[in-house]
Structure 1
Amino acid sequence: MDQDLLALAQQTRAAAQALGVLDLAQRNGALAAIAAGLEKNKDRIVAANQQDCAAAEKDGIAPALYARLKLGASKLDSAIAGIRDLINLADPLGHLQIHRELDDGLILKRVTCPLGVLGIIFEARPEALIQITSLAIKSGNGVILKGGKEAIQSCSVLTEIIKEALQTTTVSPDAVTLLTTREEIKTLLSLDKYVDLIIPRGSNAFVQYVQQNTNIPVLGHADGICHIYVDQAADLSKAIPIIVDAKTHYPAACNAIETLLIDLAIAGDILPQIAVALQANNVELRGDDETQKFIHVNPASEDDWRTEYSDLTLAIKVVENLEAAIAHINTYGSKHTDGIITEDANAAQKFLNEVNAAGVYHNCSTRFADGFRYGFGAEVGISTQTLPPRGPVGLEGLVTYKYHLVGNGQIAATYTGDQAKSFTHRDLPSER
């Protein structure tokens, strides 16, 4: 094992334990200092990112990954705004979830508390480092970050600025640790005594590698194969802008649609209009046999239904009805985000009830699947697993809880046997 990394993990663990007992004002003060530090050093951050982008272009980076890597002024401003939004959110720690009298003088409480240390592995997207670190501090967690090699300059500068800001606060800079080499990932995955949760953000193959090579709980998603189904009762004036936005607003995002499903009853009327709008935005269309009867597109294969393009490519399938659309999504989807466009309330409700995804939408773009847009301040990632947390993971997904039981000499034997005393099990008023 890498002894230097082991020492860093122990150091992060100790800092996280101290962070976890700080009050809200102290944690918010740290966030305010980070936001101010980032604001002050915008030029430095953008310059570092430009170095990364230039190096990545020389290496032939894929367009989708390049889009995620680029951190311009607007993205940086959004990330800083996210920190300030986060400051205004309620404290996720210390919430009393259960307050119950088990018997006279024997009181049970369930109280939210930090997870401990988060291990976050992500590719490109340097602004993710800002979001993740801010969420970790607000929720009282330490964080060990491993960004992609393509973002090494950006991540290094961001971490330096964050640590400099924390030196002026009650939060130890040791609560934030950045790893810089690929070899360190293997060691990080072995640190189950010091890391409480791993969140990988990358390709399907990489997420599977992480899941198969660690004993630490893993939270995240592999693919973002999102769908929109245009029902026969759809309003075309809504459908076209929604579809164009969901595909072209940021095609590299995991919440961009990869497959469009069209109800057979209206395909002849609306497919040509949808195709014109998408092709005007440089989207390459691929369609099944039925789609090709209505518009001229490249053929779609079985593999297209399972592909996350992360680019301006869209697969189209004409389906017989709502039931067929739901069946297709539940077969090929990644349980991320799927939507229906319809004016039929019953059809919409059936879709929302039966599609198995973290996000199910009616008459709006899948691009809203985002922690910032949900009002979480930011997100550490999106989880497509069925167990919670699910969907964009913000503060509530980074806390756990403890049971506090306070008595006055009670013993379990008193409540067993022929003369056993009964529990009262009386819920008490909530308190902070």
Structure 2
Amino acid sequence: MRIKEIAAAAKKASIKLAAAETELKNKALQEIAINLGNCKDKIIVANKADLERSEKEGLALPLLKRLRFDESKIQDVIEGIQSLINLPDPVGQTLDSTEMDGGLELYKVSCPIGVIGVIFESRPDALVQISTLCLKSGNSVLLKGGSEARETNKTLAEIIVEAAEKAGLPPGWLQLLETRTDVNDMLKLDQYIDLIIPRGSNDFVRYIMDNSRIAVLGHADGICHCYVHKNADLDLAVKVVVDSKTQYAAACNTTETLLVDKEIAPQFLPLVKEALEEKHVELVGCSKTLSVIDITPASEEDWKTEYLDYKLSIRIVEQLDEAVEHINTYGSGHTDAIITENKNAVAAFMSLVDSGSVFWNCSTRFSDGFRYGLGAEVGISTNKIHARGPVGLEGLLIYKYLLAGSGQTVEEYANRVKRFTHKKLHKNFNL
């Protein structure tokens, strides 16, 4: 099927899916969870083929880790689907209501975006998360995963489509694209596709933006920071930094740069160096850092790099303002954390750091749609319109205005026969 026909089918399905009852969507999600469990052996075989081929092709170790989709990860996505089922239906919620005049009531009501194109990296679990989030929010979805995961993605898509259509969802709501040519063709189909979500590097996101008239929800690099303030609890700081860097080094919310206040550096850096080296983390640092601990010098490029591996750059800063300036200069607007017992420093950091998620005394790895209770995520947005940070159900919705009248005409108001009241109603839209 040509890409235009695929997109047209997805558009047609999106109209029906937008009006689907909560019960139907949850039934489809339950069928998907069951089918994934029943077909886990088939999924693992497909994933093994992808892993073996990718290893022979020299795929980098961090990407191989992302590609692995074993029984544990299958169980994780099934649990994520169960969590999604338990969430309230986000579609049809009254966001605001206003009496324009007696008998003339305006309602702002949530609704699906329509057709969403998602281009994502070598994580098969992302396919399950994205497709089920789109289902719950009433959107059709066109998916293009990394070529290294093609067998796993194909198997997962077939399992999901089979289960959803068994439950009664319209055919065509989920489509899997296979080639880069498909992606380039998709970028031209603004008459069918309403939003594109690219997950990848800044250069990749910029390419998508420059080559499409479709709205783009950008997921840029994950250059995340931990800033250890002079009033930090040292043991807590070590614990948080180690988790932020090593809990899963290949994730986009992993800390890539550690900033340390000069007053606490002599005490803190030897402690954190020992803890990180136990986890086999390669450390590079600025000249001030090298005067405190024996590590490799950092280059200017290190501050701009998302390692996605067991490597961390370290910089000593004079004070909070310098830490904020570094983050806003080199960061990607993803997730940044301050570690301190000083609430004034927390307030300043959280208001000045220009990122989608800003944390206090906790790991940057918490920046995740599932952990936020959003029902997993389609990605992390560093945009400043529509959705920012982890994009879950809410980020896949827009709204429409519903106006209920009783024969009113504009002429009556233009001629001052009637006047608007514009009173807040605080009530839901009901027929």
Q: TM-score, normalised by structure 1?
A: 0.97
Q: Distance in 2 between matches of 1:110 and 1:169?
A: 30
Q: Distance in 2 between matches of 1:186 and 1:67?
A: 28
Contact 1:38/1:80 (<8 A) preserved: yes
* Residue in structure 1 matching 2:292, options 286, 294, 317: 294
SS, match of residue 265 in structure 1: coil
Contact 1:197/1:219 (<8 A) preserved: yes
Q: Distance in 1 between matches of 2:323 and 2:406?
A: 60
Give 1:155-166 correspondences, 5 Å limit.
155-166=153-164
Q: Distance in 2 between matches of 1:424 and 1:73?
A: 59
Question: How far is 1:129 from its partner?
Answer: 0.5
Q: Distance in 2 between matches of 1:147 and 1:109?
A: 38
Over the residues paired in the alignment, what is the CA RMSD in angstroms?
1.1
Give 1:120-131 correspondences, 5 Å limit.
120-131=118-129
* Residue in structure 2 matching 1:141, options 114, 125, 139: 139
- What is the one-letter code of the residue matched to 2:427? S
For structure 2, the 5+ residue unaligned runs are none
Give 1:261-280 correspondences, 5 Å limit.
261-280=259-278
Contact 2:97/2:426 (<8 A) preserved: yes
* Residue in structure 2 matching 1:257, options 255, 258, 266: 255
Name the structure 2 match of 1:73: 71
Name the structure 1 match of 2:18: 20
Q: Distance in 2 between matches of 1:426 and 1:317?
A: 54
SS, match of residue 408 in structure 1: coil
Q: Distance in 1 between matches of 2:330 and 2:384?
A: 16
Name the structure 2 match of 1:311: 309
Name the structure 1 match of 2:210: 212
Question: How far is 1:287 from its partner?
Answer: 0.5
Question: How far is 1:345 from its partner?
Answer: 1.3
Q: Deviations over 1:379-410 (max 9, x none)?
A: 00000112231100000011111111122222
Q: Distance in 2 between matches of 1:330 and 1:420?
A: 55
Name the structure 1 match of 2:351: 353
* Residue in structure 2 matching 1:180, options 163, 178, 187: 178
Name the structure 2 match of 1:425: 422
* Residue in structure 1 matching 2:59, options 54, 58, 61: 61
Give 1:30-69 correspondences, 5 Å limit.
30-69=28-67
Name the structure 2 match of 1:95: 93
SS, match of residue 108 in structure 1: strand
Q: Distance in 2 between matches of 1:424 and 1:130?
A: 47
Q: What is the number of equivalent residue pairs in this alignment?
A: 429
Contact 1:208/1:222 (<8 A) preserved: no
Question: How far is 1:353 from its partner?
Answer: 1.3
Contact 1:94/1:111 (<8 A) preserved: yes
Contact 1:107/1:405 (<8 A) preserved: yes
For structure 1, the 5+ residue unaligned runs are none
Q: Distance in 2 between matches of 1:236 and 1:260?
A: 14
Q: Deviations over 1:184-210 (max 9, x none)?
A: 111111110111100011222211111
* Residue in structure 1 matching 2:392, options 391, 394, 405: 394
Q: Distance in 1 between matches of 2:165 and 2:380?
A: 31
Q: Distance in 2 between matches of 1:272 and 1:300?
A: 17
Q: Distance in 2 between matches of 1:234 and 1:104?
A: 58
* Residue in structure 1 matching 2:195, options 186, 194, 197: 197
Question: How far is 1:415 from its partner?
Answer: 1.2
- What is the one-letter code of the residue matched to 1:369? S
- What is the one-letter code of the residue matched to 1:90? P
Q: Distance in 1 between matches of 2:252 and 2:426?
A: 43
Q: TM-score, normalised by structure 2?
A: 0.98
Q: Deviations over 1:322-374 (max 9, x none)?
A: 11111111111111000011111111111111111101000000000000111
Q: Deviations over 1:103-138 (max 9, x none)?
A: 122111111111101100112001100000000000
Q: Distance in 2 between matches of 1:22 and 1:135?
A: 14
Question: How far is 1:174 from its partner?
Answer: 1.4
* Residue in structure 1 matching 2:235, options 197, 219, 237: 237
Question: How far is 1:168 from its partner?
Answer: 1.5
Name the structure 1 match of 2:361: 363
Name the structure 2 match of 1:108: 106
Q: Distance in 2 between matches of 1:102 and 1:294?
A: 67
Q: Distance in 2 between matches of 1:426 and 1:322?
A: 45
- What is the one-letter code of the residue matched to 2:115? V
Q: Distance in 2 between matches of 1:394 and 1:288?
A: 37
Question: How far is 1:420 from its partner?
Answer: 4.1
Question: How far is 1:411 from its partner?
Answer: 1.6
Contact 2:18/2:138 (<8 A) preserved: yes
Contact 2:96/2:426 (<8 A) preserved: no
Q: Distance in 1 between matches of 2:286 and 2:372?
A: 35
Q: Distance in 1 between matches of 2:108 and 2:426?
A: 13
SS, match of residue 376 in structure 2: coil
Question: How far is 1:421 from its partner?
Answer: 2.1
The alignment status of 1:118 with 2:116, answered yes or no, reads yes
Q: Distance in 1 between matches of 2:309 and 2:72?
A: 21
- What is the one-letter code of the residue matched to 1:161? I
